[in-house]
């Protein structure tokens, strides 16, 4: 797309961006670790909505393991959220945005 066309269509792009941001607020993704023993649900604004921990892994001797599992589940949820947000932006804007390697917005 010609960069000058982007300038001409700025109002339309701005409206689409606002709509995309509203859609992202509704988005929910989850990440898990330990074969589902720890699960985190995040919203599109990167807030953590829910943390679930299987009671069978809660043991005072395994606090370090639990901390590692929570960190891993959070990382998983954030990667899933990033991917879902990129898909949302691609669906909202299509070829109107420039996507670089890995689907990142340029």
Domain boundaries, the chain: 3-94
Give the pLDDT score at 96.
52
What confidence tens digit (pLDDT) does each residue in 32-87 have? 988 998 888 888 887 888 888 888 888 878 878 888 888 888 888 888 888 888 88
Q: Is the pLDDT of residue 29 over 80?
A: yes
**What integer pLDDT is reported at residue 104 of this predicted model?**
53
- pTM, two decimals, is 0.55
Contact (Cβ atoms closer than 8 angstroms) between residue 42 and residue 75: no
Neighbour count for residue 62 (Cβ, 10 Å): 12
Higher pLDDT residue, 91 or 84?
Answer: 84
Structure confidence at residue 103 (pLDDT): 54
Q: What strands lie across the sheet with 48-53, from one edge to the other?
A: 28-33, 38-43, 48-53
CB 29 within 8 A of CB 46: no
Domain formed by 3-94, architecture: 2-Layer Sandwich (3.30)
* 12 contacts 28 by C-beta, under 8 angstroms: no
Say if residues 39 and 77 touch (Cβ distance below 8 Å). no
């Amino acid at each position: 797309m010609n960069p000058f066309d982007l300038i001409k269509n700025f109002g339309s792009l701005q409206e689409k961006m606002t709509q995309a941001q509203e859609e992202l607020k509704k988005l929910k993704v989850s990440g898990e670790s330990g074969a589902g023993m720890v699960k985190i649900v995040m919203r599109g604004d990167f807030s953590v909505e829910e943390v679930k921990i299987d009671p069978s892994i809660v043991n005072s001797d395994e606090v370090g393991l639990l901390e590692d599992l929570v960190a891993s589940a959070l990382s998983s949820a954030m990667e899933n959220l990033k991917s879902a947000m990129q898909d949302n932006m691609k669906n909202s804007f299509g070829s109107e945005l420039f996507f670089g390697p890995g689907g990142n917005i340029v």
